[in-house]
Chain A
Amino acid sequence: MLKFLGRRLLGLIPILFFVSVLIFLFVHLIPGDPARLLAGADASYSDIAAVRSRLGLDKPILAQYLSYVSNMFHGNLGTSFRTGRPVVSEIGDRFMPTLLLTLVSMLWSFIVALVVGVISTIKKDKWQDYTVRFGALSGISLPSFWLGLMLMQLFSVQLHWLPTVGFNSWKGIILPSLTLGSGIAAVLARFTRASLQEVLQEDYTRTARAKGLAYNLVIWKHALRNALIPVVTMAGLQFGYLLGGSVVVETVFSWPGEGRLLIDSVGFRDYPVIQGEMLLFALEFILINVLVDILYAVLNPQIRLE
């Protein structure tokens, strides 16, 4: 297991390296002179030159990259153009709201997907199954920003049950997490159904049936446990979708998280914050993938031995 872990973590190094290069190059990829861009629209030539030497943009590109990485390891990601605050604190302030939103969304969608996936399997080719299948495909096809607006219209504007925006009470997270989780619930429900049906064709579930166990018991006690392995993996991978989706959902519900900061920063051309956000999202996603791999190896001994 330790060997597997070591190999997996070593494999991260090239990806982290290339991702950091890509994010470093970000400012250089924008058409035009980065120093002029960073200095602002009405900067004089001497201002631009000052910015160029302050940010080290006059040095060779390799030296620039090395100082970027060294700064990164010291927790220095530059200063926001918009607020003048360090990017790290801008991002840090938004971290908890996004974490909370994504975790709540993942939790409910995982539970709902399991239940619905099992129902769909038990009632295969009956109306329940068709409803689940159609509902799941609709869930995948629903534009999340539209779903968010519709939920807001119904529960906040019409019924006055829940607040339209805000992060103040537990009620405020219901609509955003419903919106964000619906797509994943749909994907996971489809996946649970497919995985369960595959497991039900295996010999050991047939044996369990043959020795007279009730069908429901076989599903819940025997089949689901093994069917869960790929579903857990899939749930981990869907975290990437959650991170992306949070950008849209946070904008709809004015949620004070990373996604909204990213969109606001793109609007203001606040490049240091955009860089910082892209780095954060990439790191989170890479980290989650590693965790999923480890979890998968824990659940499935075959992977470890390969």
Chain B
Amino acid sequence: MSSPLPPASPTDAGPAAPGRHSPAAEFWRKFRKKKVGVASGLFILLLLIVAVIGPSIAPYPMEKPDYNHILAGASFAHPAGTDEFGRDIFSRILVGTRISLWVGFSSVFLGAVFGTFLGLISGFYGKWIDTLIMRFCDILFAFPGILLAIGIIAILGPGLGNVIIAVSIYGIPVFARLVRGNTLALKASVYVEAATTVGAKNGRIIWKHIFPGTLSTIIVYFTMRIGMAILTASSLSFLGLGAQPPTPEWGAMLSNGRAYLNTSPHVVIFPGIALFLSVLAFNLFGDELRDALDPKIRD
């Protein structure tokens, strides 16, 4: 689920005449002026590249212990120092990028798919279906934040796969409510009324006429939730409910490093910086994306 907008826009932006703006061209015209947005987008691109090639560019094998260099500080040989087994922390952070991004993307994607589906149905059909789905969301909302995820993990058991399930369930009501609101507004629009009048089937109206209208909101929220999902997943790993120790997941590395905080703070500092910068990049990108996509803010 790479965001479909940025790659499509440069080509669209070129031939567009000054008076004529396709939505994508309009978006790109606004977005490229946002230095922070572009910079965070580039950083995310870098993260994606590291996620793909991380294990092959890591200077050391991530599991290889080196008992001669235990808990060594940062140096030229080990840019982020070594951990309690003498493993190179920088290499482990590089390998861990894939895990964090994968957990973030997949959990938000699953939550977005199910949430969008529920939101479209709820908003379009209304009546008892709407009541049922919104009650379901209320119940999920009754367990604030990470608590719902912890409850789900308590049922399913700890592990990275279950963290993805837990975090995605936590995203379902958010997307469902958002998309439902948009659907209600679009359902009242003239073009949906026109489609109904010419006899278009409900499924076609939802998929062809309403869903595209909700897409920009979904994309913005999708980006903003990824940072949150990465943070939640690593918190769960830190609490011992997600990735388990040998895995170089950033939260799990921090959890392990706690024991050495007094003597070797670098064990905790560097994985935390990686986590912070990744989440910040997604949040900044989502923020700027919202400004560029929000039809209410026209310059």
Q: A: which residues have CB within 8 A of B?
A: 14-15, 18-19, 22, 26, 29-30, 137-138, 140-146, 149-150, 152-153, 157, 239-241, 243-245, 247-248, 251-252, 262-263, 266-267, 271, 274, 278, 281-282, 285-286
Pairs of residues from A and B, 6 with the lowest C-beta to C-beta distance, nearest first: A240-B144, A244-B145, A146-B272, A141-B280, A141-B279, A244-B146
Can you list 24 residue pairs at the A/B interface with Cβ under 8 Å? A18-B138, A19-B142, A137-B287, A138-B280, A142-B276, A143-B234, A143-B272, A145-B251, A145-B254, A146-B272, A150-B268, A152-B261, A153-B261, A153-B265, A240-B145, A244-B147, A245-B146, A247-B239, A262-B150, A281-B144, A281-B147, A282-B142, A282-B143, A285-B143
Size of the B side of the interface (Cβ < 8 Å), in residues, is 38
- For A274, list chain B residues within 8 Å (CB): 151, 154
Q: Mark B67-86, 1 if CB is under 8 A from A, else 0.
A: 00000000000000000000
Cβ of B268 and Cβ of A141 under 8 Å apart? no
Residue of B whose beta carbon sits closest to that of A158:
B265
Instruction: Give A262 to B276 CA distance when docked, in angstroms.
Output: 26
Instruction: Give A146 to B257 CA distance when docked, in angstroms.
Output: 11
- 7 more contacts with CB within 8 A, not counting A140-B283, A143-B272, are A18-B138, A30-B155, A150-B268, A152-B261, A244-B144, A244-B145, A263-B240
- For B155, list chain A residues within 8 Å (CB): 26, 29-30
Q: Across the A-B interface, how many residue pairs have beta carbons closer than 8 Å?
A: 117
Cβ of B262 and Cβ of A157 under 8 Å apart? yes
Instruction: Give A261 to B71 CA distance when docked, in angstroms.
Output: 32
Is B284 an interface position by the 8 A CB rule? yes
- For A262, list chain B residues within 8 Å (CB): 147, 150
Cβ of B145 and Cβ of A22 under 8 Å apart? no
Query: Within B227-249, which residues are at the interface with A (CB < 8 Å)?
Result: 227, 231, 234-235, 238-241
Is B292 an interface position by the 8 A CB rule? no
Q: How far is the CB of A256 from chain B (nearest CB, A)?
A: 16
Take A137-B280, A137-B284, A143-B235 as given contacts and tell me if A14 and B143 are in contact as well, using a CB distance cutoff of 8 Å: no
Take A15-B138, A18-B139, A141-B279 as given contacts and tell me if A267 and B240 are in contact as well, using a CB distance cutoff of 8 Å: yes
Is B275 an interface position by the 8 A CB rule? yes
Query: Within B117-172, which residues are at the interface with A (CB < 8 Å)?
Result: 135, 138-139, 142-147, 150-151, 153-155
Instruction: Give A290 to B82 CA distance when docked, in angstroms.
Output: 50
Cβ of A149 and Cβ of B287 under 8 Å apart? no
- For B272, list chain A residues within 8 Å (CB): 143, 146, 149-150
- For A266, list chain B residues within 8 Å (CB): 150, 153-154, 241
Cβ of A26 and Cβ of B283 under 8 Å apart? no
- For A26, list chain B residues within 8 Å (CB): 151, 154-155
- For B147, list chain A residues within 8 Å (CB): 243-244, 247, 262, 278, 281
Instruction: Give A266 to B162 CA distance when docked, in angstroms.
Output: 14
Cβ of B139 and Cβ of A144 under 8 Å apart? no
Q: Mark B262-275, 1 if CB is under 8 A from A, else 0.
A: 10010011001001
- For A14, list chain B residues within 8 Å (CB): 135
Cβ of B143 and Cβ of A248 under 8 Å apart? no
- For B144, list chain A residues within 8 Å (CB): 239-241, 243-244, 281, 285
Instruction: Give A239 to B262 CA distance when docked, in angstroms.
Output: 32
Instruction: Give A15 to B251 CA distance when docked, in angstroms.
Output: 34
Instruction: Give A263 to B237 CA distance when docked, in angstroms.
Output: 12
Residue of B whose beta carbon sits closest to that of A133:
B287
Take A26-B151, A144-B235, A266-B150 as given contacts and tell me if A157 and B261 are in contact as well, using a CB distance cutoff of 8 Å: yes
Instruction: Give A116 to B227 CA distance when docked, in angstroms.
Output: 24
- For A286, list chain B residues within 8 Å (CB): 142
